[in-house]
Amino acid sequence: VNTANELVVGLQDRAYPIHIEYGCLSNIGQDLAMRNIANRYCIISDETVAKLYGDVVLKSIQQNNQHGEILTFPAGEASKNLALFAKLCSELAQRGFDRKDAIIALGGGVTGDLAGFIAASYLRGIAFVQIPTTLLAQVDSSVGGKTGVDIPEGKNLVGAFYQPKAVYIDTSVLNTLPRDEFIGGMAEVIKYGVIRDADFFEYILNNRDGAIGLDKNILGKIIHTCCQIKADVVAEDEQETDLRRILNYGHTIGHAVEAVSKFSIIHGKAVAIGMVAAARIAVRKQLLSKEDCERIYKILNEYNLPTEIPKEFDRNLIKKYLSTDKKIVAGKISYVLPTKVGEVVITSDVDDSIIEEIITG
């Protein structure tokens, strides 16, 4: 494994590397052995990803004289629940996994969140490694230690902060990722540009064809930059008391749109709609120039991401979901609003009349 492609999440004694390299999947066993992370590994993966990449990872572990096995579950958000959490914990116990062993999450955000929560809970916590395979997981969910499951009352309502020992990102796996999933992940990529890095924003805009065409070098640079930003933000505010909240840009209205669509609009597309809405709120509050709002709108358009709440959506229902947002503090909804490309503020000082105006369109 080439260490030139490595970043570090600076969390003192819990610091960990993020390794980004095209084709690194088959070398992970060697790196795990070198880092001496565990005696025995349980790869947890959904059935789709296990079929595609389970054997490569397993072989690489075995070739380095370590023990590995795979546990699978049905692909999709519906699997991120407490019943499956319990079932997989039982399976680990029956197979005799102990404190010195580790869990490897191989898959998208669903796998990372579920397997991470299992790692945080099983025997009160065992070592855990992330191998994210969707663009969303590679730039967002695999870094930062948020783990958990959904309950009928809402998404991600049960979980824990639990950091992995290492994150391995093989960008070649994106070649098999469904197109829509890739485009959805690009919304989160664009989010990083808007909240933290104007040069990166320009880079994404200027390299659209390369990114969409899965150009190795361009994707490598994009994922590296996103992970660096996320690592910096998490190192400064692990438990989301302050700075980390900027990562929720586009997510307040985005989550409401996602819910009203009954999740037929995928997360990234809903976030794209939410980012434009937040930018328009910022213009309305004279925090952002019309030109910068237009640039945010334009970049999302360039990546074929939606920018408007579908006409047929019930605006009252959207408002209802907004008022149940998890991030509400003392009855006030807080919004992450851009002040220019590359910078945001967090405020709960947004009149209902402005929200009404923006979501009505």
Ligand X SMILES: NC(=O)c1ccc[n+]([C@@H]2O[C@H](COP(=O)([O-])OP(=O)(O)OC[C@H]3O[C@@H](n4cnc5c(N)ncnc54)[C@H](O)[C@@H]3O)[C@@H](O)[C@H]2O)c1
Active site residue ranges: 124, 146, 188, 230, 240, 244, 248, 251, 255, 267
Q: Is 22 exposed, middle or buried (0-12, 13-18, 19+ CB in 10 A)?
A: middle
Specify the residue, 155 or 285, whose C-beta has the smaller distance to ligand X. 155
Q: Is 164 in the site for ligand X (CB under 6 A)?
A: no
User: Using CB under 6 A, which of 77, 202, 232, 302 touches ligand X?
Assistant: 77
d(C-alpha 67, C-alpha 59), whole Å: 10
Buried residues in 219-241 as b, exposed as e (16+ CB within 10 A): bbbbbbbbbbbbbebbbeebebe
With a CB cutoff of 8 Å and minimum separation 6, the contacts of 312 are none
Contact characters 85-114, ligand X, x per CB under 6 A: ----------------------xxxxx-x-
Piece in contact with ligand X (CB under 6 A), picked from 31-39, 91-99, 128-136, 303-311: 128-136
d(C-alpha 290, C-alpha 170), whole Å: 39
d(C-alpha 141, C-alpha 230), whole Å: 10
Q: Is 207 in the site for ligand X (CB under 6 A)?
A: no
Rounded to a whole number of angstroms, the minimum distance from the CB of residue 100 to ligand X is 26
Q: Give the tokens for residue 342.
A: 């590359």
Q: Is 176 in the site for ligand X (CB under 6 A)?
A: yes
Specify the residue, 244 or 340, whose C-beta has the smaller distance to ligand X. 244
Rounded to a whole number of angstroms, the minimum distance from the CB of residue 230 to ligand X is 9
Q: Is 181 in the site for ligand X (CB under 6 A)?
A: yes
Specify the residue, 160 or 328, whose C-beta has the smaller distance to ligand X. 160
In Å, how far are 12, 79, 147, 156 from 108, measured between CA atoms? 27, 12, 13, 15
Rounded to a whole number of angstroms, the minimum distance from the CB of residue 45 to ligand X is 9
d(C-alpha 326, C-alpha 259), whole Å: 13
HSE toward the beta carbon, residue 179, CA cutoff 13 A: 5
User: Using CB under 6 A, which of 29, 54, 68, 144 touches ligand X?
Assistant: 144
CA nearest to 110, candidates 70, 138, 149 = 149
User: Using CB under 6 A, which of 9, 44, 131, 137 touches ligand X?
Assistant: 137
Question: Quick one: DSSP state of residue 77?
Answer: G
SS3 at position 146: strand
Rounded to a whole number of angstroms, the minimum distance from the CB of residue 134 to ligand X is 3
Rounded to a whole number of angstroms, the minimum distance from the CB of residue 133 to ligand X is 4
Buried residues in 57-67 as b, exposed as e (16+ CB within 10 A): bbebbeebebe
Question: Quick one: DSSP state of residue 263?
Answer: T
Handedness of CA 284, 351, 312, 252 (dihedral sign): positive
Q: Is 134 in the site for ligand X (CB under 6 A)?
A: yes
Piece in contact with ligand X (CB under 6 A), picked from 44-52, 59-67, 121-129, 212-220: 44-52
Question: Quick one: DSSP state of residue 165?
Answer: S
Specify the residue, 66 or 72, whose C-beta has the smaller distance to ligand X. 72
Piece in contact with ligand X (CB under 6 A), picked from 71-79, 311-319, 336-344, 350-358: 71-79
Rounded to a whole number of angstroms, the minimum distance from the CB of residue 192 to ligand X is 13
CA nearest to 136, candidates 301, 10, 267 = 267
Q: Is 170 in the site for ligand X (CB under 6 A)?
A: no
Q: Binders of ligand X among 306-335, rule CB under 6 A? A: none
User: Using CB under 6 A, which of 7, 32, 49, 223 touches ligand X?
Assistant: 49
Q: Output the CA angle 284-237-154, nearest 5 degrees.
A: 70
User: Using CB under 6 A, which of 140, 197, 258, 292 touches ligand X?
Assistant: 140
Applying CB under 6 A, the site for ligand X has a residue count of 28
Q: Under the rule (CB under 6 A), what is the footprint of ligand X?
A: 46, 48-49, 52, 75-77, 80, 107-111, 113, 133-134, 136-137, 140-141, 144, 146, 155-156, 173, 176-177, 181
